[in-house]
Structure 1
Amino acid sequence: MDVREGEIKLSNESILVVEDEEKIARLLELELEYEGYQVTKAMDGLDALALYRSQKWDLILLDVMLPGLSGIELLRRIRAHDLHTPVLLLTAKSSVEDKVSGLDLGANDYMTKPFQIEELLARIRAALRFKGKEQMEEESDWLTIADLKLNEKTREVIRGEDAIELTPREFDLLVYFMHNKRQVLNRDQIIEAVWGYDFLGDTNVVDVYIRYIRKKIDTLNKPTLIHTIRGVGYVLKEAK
């Protein structure tokens, strides 16, 4: 692995390098920093676990053979609650079991030592591109206004940092508002969209369910998002 000289490129992508062989770790650090990545090194599994928990990482380069905590066990702990951070394993040439175990536990790829730095960099770029695509797809699943987020696929509702539990009818009503945010909606429109055109009950049911939702999303420390337009209906919009 040749360390190249020249101007360091700028990047916001962070990589945690977990490698106990100091020479390899230093070479990886220099090469990755030359490519513009923000690099942090860990020399054993326990230090790596602490660093992993200290911040979000764009990618983890993980040696399998580590003191303190093996790379496979570290990967297991990461994947127990984090399915998205790309992890590339560095394995010995003959360690087929480590490769299989790592892939089964959710590693995105692996490189066999010794390796060419150009191939490693290409695989890192590929993993980061895939992560970026996944993030864009996930973000597109969310409807948002101000600090309120709603995911129709997972039926999650979040206001700021707080998860909000809604009944099925409350959820459907909020979905309708989110799809029509900043539009004034009258009770008849809401009834037809959420309860169905053949609903025979009183339109005051809308007021009741608006009150239920407000109690959950418009708490004392949050600006009001569902506003009453007297004589017309309601609108979901940011507070001024």
Structure 2
Amino acid sequence: MTHSPETPPIDFWWTVQGEWAEPPNERRGGMSGVQRVTLEDGTRYYVKRQRNFTFRSLRYPLGAPTLLREWNNLQTFARLGVPTAPAVAFDMRREADGWHAVLVTRALEGYISLEEGFSCARWDESERARILTHVLEALAPLHTAGRKHGHLYPKEVFVRPQADTVHVALLDLELSRRHLSRRHAARSDLRRLVNSLLGRGLAPQEFDLIRDAYARKGMPLPGDFNRR
């Protein structure tokens, strides 16, 4: 059980109800979904709930909630200086019908996903280059540590451009893990991100910006790194 002292106690998050962000995923007797919860002071949170959504590993041979893996990755990203949605609380409990887990993050107010920004042509060419540069700066510590995000699609990368900077936050960290090398970690993530953005108007010079930025950080990517 872990929670921020500035927020309600963990039992509150187990019982509070909100609007489902999308219909929960139900399969093989399990359930996983995300609710939006707004407190009386107007602060918004996202509450992930799971029942019998588990993974197995050497450490957890009998299984544990996949939200535990995401919570651990949130802590790892924080240590590496990789921005994410602010982590608020996590708990997991073994009940008669299996594992239950809850994970809470603060809502990203004023942010927009790369998916929405590119699809709606929200930014001009110079602003897109500025945003991509900050996204790459946010990703670099992760890849330098030999870790990959593992699910780096535009909908998982959120940005909040301001006059003097661009704030970045990465979501959906459940699949993040160590890779064979820094270069392979970067190639795996950026191939997925670039391929997705190409269908949303990514320009050739923006492709070059990504490749050149990583070359300067000692993680050169081949010219065709976006090909499967």
- Report the TM-score, using the length of structure 2 for normalisation: 0.25
Larger radius of gyration: 1
Of structures 1 and 2, the one scoring higher in RCO (CA 8 A, sep 6+) is 2
Using the size of structure 1 for normalisation, the TM-score is 0.24
Structure number with higher helix proportion: 1
